[in-house]
Amino acid sequence: FYVAAIFTKLEQRTCIKFCCKNEIKCSDTLKMLQKCYGDGTLSKTQVYQWYERFKSGREAVEDDARPGRPSTSKTDENVDEIRQLLIENRKLTIREIAETTNISFGSVQSILREDLGLILHDDNAPSHNALIIREFLVKNNTNSIQQPPNSPDLAPCDFFLFDRLKKSLRGTRFESVEAIKLKSLEALMAIPKTDFQKSFEGWIKHWHNRALKEKRPLYAQRHDKVILLHDNARPHVAKPVKTYLETLKWEVVPHPPYSPDIAPSDFHLFRSMAHGLADWRFHSYEEAQKWIDS
């Protein structure tokens, strides 16, 4: 497998060199390679890089020798041992392989990437962010909306539960979407109530230490006192919420009533009344009422 991969890579570089010498476009060269080698084709970035190298006068298709002291861990025996471990269990982490083979973490990482051709792909949809996709969107004048880092439907305090949920689902294979939903629900239900409360407290701490003090310079002058004004929606005025806000020692400003006993036409008078009340100060409710009646 390893030897075949090396020869296939050198073959493709030789083909790229041939196309470059015959002044075949790089885009056409890539199409020819994809038609011939299929999924084993070099990436578009590699094809374009080698095409430019040959165009600049390079002749060798082999990799350049790297400077510095040669690695004593990257032997054929170590490469074969790591390959065999992955054949037996493809879920092994780099650190687990390093502990099993008694090879350094960096050497294992280098063997996986450079000798075995294994590249770590994250869950950020690499196919959507690939160079060929981005070039296609630019060519067709198509604007793309950036994907948010996390679901916008979740409250900030929920982000602190992601690691807890990921640990319980790690290494699990699912046969259907329903199985994923069921397992996720079981994992969420198994999280203690105290963890949910800690996640909210963690978000509060993060909010205190960063956003609040940066955007509200006067916050420090209030001796870390928080004044909260939110509407009177039922979830906000529920007893558990009120009790928890009391434990945080937050000052909750009462929400003003919506004046249900005035006609819609009276709303147009608010602006004129506001202009008339400008710069006036009343020391009691009676004074304000007297001004309005007059």
Q: Which two tokens stand for residue 226?
A: 């928080």
Out of 185, 217, 249, a domain closes at 217
Same domain, residue pair 90 and 129: yes
Question: Rounded to an integer, what is the distance from CA 165 to the centroid of its chain?
Answer: 16
pLDDT tens digits along 163-198:
566 667 777 777 788 888 888 788 777 777 777 677
The pLDDT tens digits of the residues spanning 11-69 come to: 888 999 999 999 999 999 999 988 888 877 888 888 999 999 999 888 888 877 666 55
Measured from the Cβ of residue 99, the count of other Cβ atoms closer than 10 Å reads 13
Note down the domain range covering 273: 260-293
Indicate whether 240 belongs to any domain: no
120 pLDDT higher than 60: no
* DSSP classification of residue 90: T
Does 163 lie in the same domain as 125? no
86 and 141 inside one domain? yes
Look at the block and give the residue holding tokens 């963890």: 195
pLDDT (average), residues 245-264? 67
Considering the domain architecture, whether residues 118 and 171 belong to the same structural domain is answered as no
Rounded to 10 deg, the angle between the 26-37 and 44-55 helix axes is: 130
171 and 137 together in one domain: no
Domain check: are 100 and 118 in the same one? Answer: yes
- Residue ending a domain, among 217, 248, 271, is 217
Residue 170 maps to a domain: yes
Helix axis angle, 2-21 to 76-88, nearest 10°: 110
Please check whether residue 19 is in contact with residue 29, taking contact to mean a CB–CB distance below 8 angstroms.
yes
HSE-up of residue 193 (Cα within 13 Å, Cβ side): 0
* In-domain check, residue 241: no
In a domain, 235, yes or no: no
Residue 68 within a domain: no
Judge if 139 and 167 occupy the same domain. Answer: no
Domain shared by 141 and 101, yes or no: yes
Question: Is residue 209 in some structural domain?
Answer: yes
Count of domains in the chain?
A: 4
More confident residue, 56 or 127: 56
Beta strands 251-252 and 227-228 are: parallel
Tell me which residue of 71, 77, 76 sits closest to 106, measured CA to CA: 71
The answer on 141 and 84 residing in a single domain is yes
CB neighbour list of residue 127: distance below 8 Å, 6 or more residues apart: 133
Assigned domain for 285 exists: yes
If 0-12 CB within 10 Å is exposed, 13-18 middle and 19+ buried, where does residue 42 land?
Answer: buried
Determine the straight-line distance between the first and last CA of the chain, rounded to whole angstroms.
95
DSSP letter (8 states) at residue 263: -
Do residue 135 and residue 167 come from a single domain?
A: no
Q: Is residue 254 part of a domain?
A: no
- Using the 3D structure, point to which of 97, 125, 145 is the last residue of a domain: 145
